[in-house]
Structure 1
Amino acid sequence: MAVNSGDTDTDIVDVERLASSIEHMMSQDLFMSSKRCIFKTPIALYRHNEKFYIPDAFSIGPFHHGCPNLKPTETIKAKYLLGLISRSRFPNTLLKDFINTINALEREAREYYAGPIEYSREEFVKILVIDGCFMIELFCRNASKQLREENDPIFSMSSMLQVLGHDLILLENQLPWMVLEHLFSMFTAPVSDMTLIELAIAFFCDIYAFRQPARSHDYLRDIKHIPDLVKKGMVSSIEVDEEKIPQSGWELIPSATHLVEAGIKLRKSRSKNMLDIKFEKGVLAIPPIRIHETTETVFRNLISYELCYPNSDDRITSYAMLLDNLIDTAKDVEILCENGIICNWLNTEDAARFFNKLYHRTCVVNKYYHGNLCMQVNEYCEKIWPRWRGMLVRNYFNTPWAGLSTFAAVILLILTSVQTWYSMKS
């Protein structure tokens, strides 16, 4: 049936004007750089709770620069920039050298941002220089207490470090890593001969209470920004099983409580790669993780990064999916804490909610890294003997006294049976 277009003037389309409008839109600069890696948080994630994606005190980069509530910390940035320059061998010329270097990189730096930057070339260079030098000085003062002033505006206040733990990991609040590298290469007063990567990793391992990765940082190549560095530091360098999820979805596993009931033992792994989760002979070995005030912000922004970045490996999202399976209730958190897998600085209810809300169905992974592991765990759970053994241990041998009582009862039963048998024979 044909659609009635109507006879009024309002139904008439000006074909020429509409075609001209579309042609004009197509004639615009539609260049999309392959360098894009700093994104605005997708609405699908942002709407759940915006506080995990917006800076509290420090703007880094152009997206949040100039926000009224973030302006007070511009003074701290300037103070840190002054400290950095004053220790240089060439304090009178270093600032101009910084500006000249970043000015030459300005066009390339814009390509790292997935979204328009409304600042002029001069304003954008100023943002990159001040914010970049602030971060370098922050890393240096973290590594060397001698560089800190008596009333350091950050290190003399523990609350400031917690704020920075939130603000510096935000995907929207970033500088290209290459900007930091160029600024750092011009700095003539290094701290203990540490590289920029080593300084940054030391800072974030301290502030997020992550385990320090191996000394060799060969796997930390092609760093794009701080979230990318933190992610690569968290998953370390070893290869893990890669399995593309089927179109019907990934295989789920029971919660920690049900795994224990099925006779599976949960143990802390010594691996420094948090994705290095293994299942062998009824034992599920999981690297330990610490849960504190900034952990949710870290994971949410790394998941956001994987969701936005083309051809992402989805390692963090896969990990969140697996932990969401393992933890349903506070009881699951308690079990993982008792086995040294989770070091929880929150209450158990908040920790359970954190894992339950961490992964949302809006996140679709291209690769799921724990598919084989989940299949092995489920096959083991279906066996009868592990479930019986788990029930016996849980009900009769869960404490030394219960085990002794059960053992004594079994001995008594055997002796009674033997006595009855002899009585019947005699």
Structure 2
Amino acid sequence: MEGVHEAPHYIENPKDPLQEELDNLSTLSPSRCIYRVPNRLRRVNEKAYTPQVVSIGPLHHGKEHLKAMEEHKKRYLRHFLSRTRERVSFSDYIQMIKDQEGRLRGSYAEPIEFGSDQFVRIVLVDAAFVIEFLLRCRDSHCEGDDYIFNNPMLRWDVRPDLGLLENQLPFFILQVLFNTLSSSAHPRPSLLEISYYFFVSQVVRKGKAEAFYEKYYTEVEVQHFVDLIRILYRPLKSKTRRELKTTAVPNAAELLQAGVKFTVGKGSNIFDIKFSDGILEIPTLIVADTTDLAIRNLLAFEQCHKRGEDCLTSYVFLMKRLAKTPKDVELLVEHGIIENWLGSTKKISTLLHDLGTGMILDHYCYAPLCENLNSYCRTRRHKWMANLRQNYFNTPWSIISVVAAVILLLLTFIQTVCTVISVA
């Protein structure tokens, strides 16, 4: 037909929109370590993952309830710049961060929507604020216009926000800026050391943290503050991991009835739980107001940043089984396993139960321990012995009464035998 022409073969067909989307997909960075908390966890306790006072990094930047702190963060930046103005200019800091922009963006598990200039400014303001805040906490010193430190309640409100998974900057960029600070006559502690002493109070366990500090200070690369707290919790030796069969284990009251004895673990790591010869050894866990927030963010990091370790998730699963009821909590408090700073045993039982909600456990670190406990409880002899101890030998007077009864029974038996012999 006249007027109808085929398109020349050399003209390519336009790309399908889906093909364009596929071509433009960003590459997942292997260095990602800062995540949005999954909804299955966030639904249980939204507040535990959301900054209440100050945003750090891009994920919560610009939120209405956090805008009041932006001016104070800039005051901290101004003071930070004054520490190095003779050697490092404002534009130098901007360039330092621009040089690291690709690595910074790659540290976040999701694409950052801010443009380059705004993203760099956010990182500079927030990184300077964090460094200044840590230094002022360490030195117990504040400037006359320091609204945060002149308001003790606000200072304590800032602290927990720095330990939230979604409220992080990569540690390496803090280190880059910290390295520019001038050294005084007295050597300044490293950024890692300052961070360590700031966050070690959030590690809810008994015992000395120095052993962890000495080991990890030199051997481990910290990714951000939540990772630092995770390192302080982490066991010195990797635990045996098995494919998950069951997490079932009797609660504390049932274990006691089966003859299991509880004792406080001597180690300084909460994961170092042992069972041998009927004795369950558990290091003391401090349960305070900050426990919920600290452990939830550590759990969220462990759930998102899967590297073959489920130590904390395994621990929470075990403890929520042991402390199933307020009565179980009372027993654990009585034996020094739990140090109760909340006051209510019911609150602790509920807290441990809620911490495990929404968690996915691939490898259970305490599988061998649970198998041994279950095997011990199935042995009737242990229950009989426990019943004797708890009902007949639980006080000195009851022991004396039982011994007296046995002696009386023996004497009666001997007398009867003698009577029979004499009659015969």
TM surpasses 0.5: yes
Correspondence list, 1:71-82, <5 A: 71-82=67-78
Task: Give the Cα–Cα distance (whole angstroms) in 2 for the partners of residues 279 and 153 of structure 1.
Answer: 52
The answer on 1:383 being equivalent to 2:379 is yes
Task: Give the Cα–Cα distance (whole angstroms) in 1 for the partners of residues 336 and 91 of structure 2.
Answer: 52
Specify the alignment match of 2:18 in structure 1.
Answer: 22
Correspondence list, 1:90-239, <5 A: 90=85, 93-145=88-140, 147-149=141-143, 153-155=147-149, 157-189=151-183, 193-208=188-203, 210=205, 212-214=209-211, 215-218=213-216, 221-236=220-235, 238-239=236-237
| 1:195 Cα offset (Å) | 1.7
The Cα offsets for residues 55-75 of structure 1, whole Å up to 9 and x where unpaired, read as 111101001111111011223
The Cα offsets for residues 178-214 of structure 1, whole Å up to 9 and x where unpaired, read as 1111111112247863221211111111355555241
Task: Give the Cα–Cα distance (whole angstroms) in 2 for the partners of residues 394 and 19 of structure 1.
Answer: 79
2:338 aligns with one of 334, 339, 342: 342
Cα contact 2:299–2:313 (8 A) shared by 1: yes
Task: Give the Cα–Cα distance (whole angstroms) in 2 for the partners of residues 187 and 418 of structure 1.
Answer: 85
Task: Give the Cα–Cα distance (whole angstroms) in 2 for the partners of residues 46 and 104 of structure 1.
Answer: 34
Q: Aligned letter for 2:224?
A: H
| 1:420 Cα offset (Å) | 2.6
Task: Give the Cα–Cα distance (whole angstroms) in 1 for the partners of residues 326 and 364 of structure 2.
Answer: 26
| 1:242 Cα offset (Å) | 2.2
1:242 aligns with one of 240, 243, 247: 240
Correspondence list, 1:27-66, <5 A: 27-66=23-62
Task: Give the Cα–Cα distance (whole angstroms) in 2 for the partners of residues 71 and 391 of structure 1.
Answer: 62
Cα contact 1:165–1:208 (8 A) shared by 2: no
1:179–1:384 CA distance, 2 compared to 1 (3 A): same
RMSD: 2.5
Specify the alignment match of 1:11 in structure 2.
Answer: none
1:363–1:89 CA distance, 2 compared to 1 (3 A): closer
The Cα offsets for residues 316-335 of structure 1, whole Å up to 9 and x where unpaired, read as 11111111211111111111
| 1:251 Cα offset (Å) | 3.8
1:230–1:94 CA distance, 2 compared to 1 (3 A): farther
Cα contact 2:263–2:337 (8 A) shared by 1: yes
1:386–1:91 CA distance, 2 compared to 1 (3 A): farther
TM-score (ref. length: structure 2)? 0.86
Q: Aligned letter for 2:57?
A: G
The Cα offsets for residues 279-306 of structure 1, whole Å up to 9 and x where unpaired, read as 1111111122211122111221222112
Q: Aligned letter for 1:34?
A: P
Q: Aligned letter for 1:231?
A: R
Task: Give the Cα–Cα distance (whole angstroms) in 2 for the partners of residues 94 and 102 of structure 1.
Answer: 13
Identity of aligned residues (%): 31
1:89–1:26 CA distance, 2 compared to 1 (3 A): closer
1:67 aligns with one of 63, 72, 97: 63
Q: Aligned letter for 2:209?
A: Q
| 1:311 Cα offset (Å) | 3.3
Task: Give the Cα–Cα distance (whole angstroms) in 2 for the partners of residues 258 and 396 of structure 1.
Answer: 18
Cα contact 1:102–1:129 (8 A) shared by 2: yes
The SS at the match of 2:248 is coil
The Cα offsets for residues 306-352 of structure 1, whole Å up to 9 and x where unpaired, read as 22224341221111111121111111111111122211211211111
| 1:105 Cα offset (Å) | 0.7
The answer on 1:365 being equivalent to 2:361 is yes
Task: Give the Cα–Cα distance (whole angstroms) in 2 for the partners of residues 279 and 419 of structure 1.
Answer: 42
If you compute each CA radius of gyration, which structure gives the higher value, 1 or 2?
2
| 1:220 Cα offset (Å) | 5.1
Specify the alignment match of 1:416 in structure 2.
Answer: 408
Specify the alignment match of 2:351 in structure 1.
Answer: 354
1:185–1:115 CA distance, 2 compared to 1 (3 A): same
Task: Give the Cα–Cα distance (whole angstroms) in 2 for the partners of residues 220 and 287 of structure 1.
Answer: 25
Specify the alignment match of 1:321 in structure 2.
Answer: 317
Structure 2: stretches of 5+ with no match in the other structure? 1-12, 420-424
The answer on 1:268 being equivalent to 2:268 is no
Task: Give the Cα–Cα distance (whole angstroms) in 2 for the partners of residues 312 and 356 of structure 1.
Answer: 24
| 1:396 Cα offset (Å) | 3.6
Correspondence list, 1:295-310, <5 A: 295-310=291-306
| 1:112 Cα offset (Å) | 0.8
1:192–1:261 CA distance, 2 compared to 1 (3 A): farther
Cα contact 2:202–2:294 (8 A) shared by 1: no
Task: Give the Cα–Cα distance (whole angstroms) in 1 for the partners of residues 286 and 86 of structure 2.
Answer: 42
Cα contact 2:247–2:317 (8 A) shared by 1: no
Task: Give the Cα–Cα distance (whole angstroms) in 2 for the partners of residues 306 and 114 of structure 1.
Answer: 14
Q: Aligned letter for 1:242?
A: T
Task: Give the Cα–Cα distance (whole angstroms) in 1 for the partners of residues 14 and 159 of structure 2.
Answer: 50
The Cα offsets for residues 84-126 of structure 1, whole Å up to 9 and x where unpaired, read as 444x354574544332211211121011112121212121111
Specify the alignment match of 1:5 in structure 2.
Answer: none
Task: Give the Cα–Cα distance (whole angstroms) in 1 for the partners of residues 220 and 137 of structure 2.
Answer: 23
Structure 1: stretches of 5+ with no match in the other structure? 1-16
Task: Give the Cα–Cα distance (whole angstroms) in 2 for the partners of residues 192 and 395 of structure 1.
Answer: 63
TM-score (ref. length: structure 1)? 0.86
The Cα offsets for residues 134-175 of structure 1, whole Å up to 9 and x where unpaired, read as 212222222222x33578544555533543343122211111
After the TM superposition, which of the residue ranges 192-201 and 319-328 deviates more from structure 2? 192-201
Task: Give the Cα–Cα distance (whole angstroms) in 2 for the partners of residues 332 and 156 of structure 1.
Answer: 43
After the TM superposition, which of the residue ranges 129-138 and 410-419 deviates more from structure 2? 410-419
Task: Give the Cα–Cα distance (whole angstroms) in 2 for the partners of residues 259 and 91 of structure 1.
Answer: 67
Task: Give the Cα–Cα distance (whole angstroms) in 1 for the partners of residues 93 and 114 of structure 2.
Answer: 19
